[in-house]
Amino acid sequence: MATTHPPAYFEDQHERLDAQLQAHLLDVVGADFGAALERLQRWRADLARHIEIENTRLLPHVPQGARWAARVYLLEHERIVLLADEYAQRVQAAAAHPLRDEMARRRAVLQLLDSAHALRHVLEHHHEREHQGLAHELPLDLQAAVWGGPQDGGA
C-alpha cells in the first residue's frame, strides 16, 4: 500500500534557491567573477522575493504554540539578508578588479569561498528550521496558495 506524503513546498523552494547559489559558487571556483556576480545578483533577487513572501504571506499565520515563533524566522531573515549583502559586496569587488596573476586569482577564490561559508551555514540551519516547523505547522492549503502556483524563476 502506497503512502502519500504532503507536498514539500518549502523544500522545493529551498532546493531552487540552493541550486542557484551552488551555480554561483561553481563560477567562483572557476574564478569567473563576472558570471559569479550575475548569478549571485539573480539569486539575491529571488531570495529577497522568497523572504518577502514568507514575511508577508506565511509568517502572519504561524500558530500560537508553534515550535518557533514567527519572530525567530523574521530575525533569521534579517541575518540572512545582512550576510548575503556583505558577501555580494565581496563578489562585486572581485568582479570589478580582474586579477591577471594565477596565485592572486586563487587567493580571491579562496577568500570568497571562505566568506560564503557563514551565509551558507545560516541558510542551511534556517531552511531546516522551516522544514521542521513551518512546513508542518502552516495549513497545507495556505502553503499551496503561496508556493503551489506557477513559479517565476523561483521565488
pLDDT, residue 79, reads: 97
Residue 34 cell numbers, joined: 563576472
Place of cell 580571491: 108
- Euclidean distance between CA atoms 59 and 145, whole angstroms: 14
CB atoms within 10 A of CB 1: 2
Most confident segment among 23-27, 99-103, 135-139, 141-145: 23-27
CB atoms within 10 A of CB 60: 8
Nearest CA-CA partner of 78 in 94, 54, 62, 58: 54
pTM of the model: 0.89
Angle, alpha carbons 78-132-87 (nearest 5°): 30
pLDDT for 8-62, tens place per residue? Answer: 899 999 999 999 999 999 999 999 999 999 999 999 999 999 999 999 999 999 9
Beta-carbon contacts of residue 21 (< 8 Å; ≥ 6 apart): 43, 120, 123
pLDDT for 84-130, tens place per residue? Answer: 999 999 999 999 987 889 999 999 999 999 999 999 999 999 999 99
